[in-house]
Amino acid sequence: MKLCLPRIEISLSKIQENARLLCNFYGQKGISLMGVSKAVLGEPAIAQAMIAGGVQFIADSRIENIKRMRQAGISAQLVLLRTAPSQAEAIVKNVDISLNTELKTLEKLSYHAKDQGKIHKVIIMVELGDLREGVLPCDLVQFVRKTLLLPNIKVTGIGCNLACYGGVKPNKRNMNMLSELVNIVQSELGIKLEIVSGGNSANYEWANSGQSIGEINNLRIGESILLGCETVGRQAIPGLHQHTFQLVAEVIEAKEKASLPFGEICQDAFGDIPKFKDRGIRQRSIVALGRQDVLTAGLKSERSLEILGASSDHIILDSENHPLQIGDEVNFGLDYGGLLSAMTSPFVGKEFVGRQRVVAPIIPAPIGVELN
């Protein structure tokens, strides 16, 4: 079978293994995992690998991805990480649990849950310093009290999210704060919260430090499962696979050229004035991959191949130390941004290695078209 180029090669067995090791590690501490699928667009085969590895929930930020997994028959509980009032009807229809921070959205969810004859479960997110989503701690009890009054809504948990926008590290202090808030909400309102979701892949160091985990019994984990690292310092987690994804592209030009452009210098394709170092004549190779396929800063090349730069459709490599020929395939590793962008590009084929299943690139749907 002829494989597409460029393509992203995905090892489902490595993803499953990562999920299994993390479920064991966190499970021993009484922490269940939600496998977060947003970086892979809710790819059902990847969600299935996470479930086979032991995750009890699959969480995604996009309702389109949740629908995709629902339609593929994914059996785990599906969690929506980001809600919007305009999507309330679809959320109630497709999602088991959603994360929320606004009463207006909760009111709409309640309205549609009643309309559809369902109970919709929600986790209320608290702001603990990262300054992305979250109800302020001082407003939390009142917020939950109001939410409890909404028909057909069940407050199933409280959560927080750090290290995403503000780069705030989960530590003893903010994690204890979450546990304290949970205790206050439970005692003041006389309820028992099933889920206390303490964060994401950045919580590894905190969980591994041996200190008390307090009331926290759940984490939402994407990057650690997909790329095998924690996200406070992007250190590899011992025993996990880091080479779960490879981006493969084709060499379309390989020539000896000067390393300094010649002629009058103006702005490049992205409005920057480029600067170069003169290293003499070098072998330079162009691969058919560019910014429309991947966040090129998120690519990791073999050490002997240096990424010199990229435009929309071309990446230029210094291949002097690893001479290439036209038609050769070049492999790149990916960081989270690289993975997210390559999975999102319609020009990149998605291929599962170790199994004979190739998904051809999809032609982009016009913006605004309902993905049903």
From 180-188, 223-231, 237-245, 251-259, give the range in contact with ligand PLP by CB under 6 A. Answer: 223-231
Give the shortest CB-151-to-ligand PLP separation in angstroms.
26
Give me the amino acid identity at 84. Answer: A
Name the DSSP class of 229: B
Classify 67 as helix, strand or coil. helix
- Cα 131 from Cα 212, distance rounded (Å): 25
Q: Does 101 bind ligand PLP (CB under 6 A)?
A: no
Q: Does 290 bind ligand PLP (CB under 6 A)?
A: no
Task: Kindly tell me which of 3 and 236 has the beta carbon lying closer to ligand PLP.
Answer: 236
Q: Tell me which residue has tokens 């109970």.
A: 119
Tokens of 238: 């011992």
Task: Kindly tell me which of 163 and 182 has the beta carbon lying closer to ligand PLP.
Answer: 163
38 carries an active-site annotation:
yes
From 14-22, 107-115, 214-222, 249-257, give the range in contact with ligand PLP by CB under 6 A. Answer: 214-222
Q: Does 38 bind ligand PLP (CB under 6 A)?
A: yes
Task: Tell me the residue nearest to ligand PLP as measured from the CB.
Answer: 222
- Cα 244 from Cα 299, distance rounded (Å): 14
Q: Does 174 bind ligand PLP (CB under 6 A)?
A: no
Give the shortest CB-266-to-ligand PLP separation in angstroms.
40
Q: How long a stretch of residues is the chain?
A: 372
Q: Does 319 bind ligand PLP (CB under 6 A)?
A: no
Active-site pick, 38, 93, 154, 300: 38
Asked if residues 6 and 249 have their Cβ atoms less than 8 Å apart, the reply is yes
Asked if residues 191 and 152 have their Cβ atoms less than 8 Å apart, the reply is no
Asked if residues 171 and 128 have their Cβ atoms less than 8 Å apart, the reply is no
* Total interface residues for ligand PLP by CB under 6 A: 13
- Cα 217 from Cα 356, distance rounded (Å): 38
DSSP string, 295-333: -GGGEE--TTSEEEEE-SS-EEEE-TTS---TT-EEEEE
Considering only 5, 19, 22, 36, the residue that binds ligand PLP (CB under 6 A) is 36
- Cα 159 from Cα 299, distance rounded (Å): 32
Considering only 16, 48, 61, 105, the residue that binds ligand PLP (CB under 6 A) is 61
Element (H, E) at 115: helix 103-115
From 144-152, 221-229, 302-310, 343-351, give the range in contact with ligand PLP by CB under 6 A. Answer: 221-229
Give the shortest CB-243-to-ligand PLP separation in angstroms.
18
Burial class (CB in 10 A: 0-12, 13-18, 19+), 288: middle
Considering only 221, 232, 287, 348, the residue that binds ligand PLP (CB under 6 A) is 221
Q: Tell me which residue has tokens 């702001």.
A: 127
Q: Does 161 bind ligand PLP (CB under 6 A)?
A: yes
- Cα 318 from Cα 316, distance rounded (Å): 7
For the window 235-274, what string marks contact with ligand PLP as x by the rule CB under 6 A?
----------------------------------------
Considering only 15, 47, 49, 81, the residue that binds ligand PLP (CB under 6 A) is 81
Task: Kindly tell me which of 33 and 330 has the beta carbon lying closer to ligand PLP.
Answer: 33
158 forms beta bridges with 124, 196
Q: Does 200 bind ligand PLP (CB under 6 A)?
A: yes
Q: Does 231 bind ligand PLP (CB under 6 A)?
A: yes
> Which residues are tagged catalytic?
38
* Sites of contact with ligand PLP (CB under 6 A): 36, 38, 61, 81, 161, 200-201, 220-224, 231
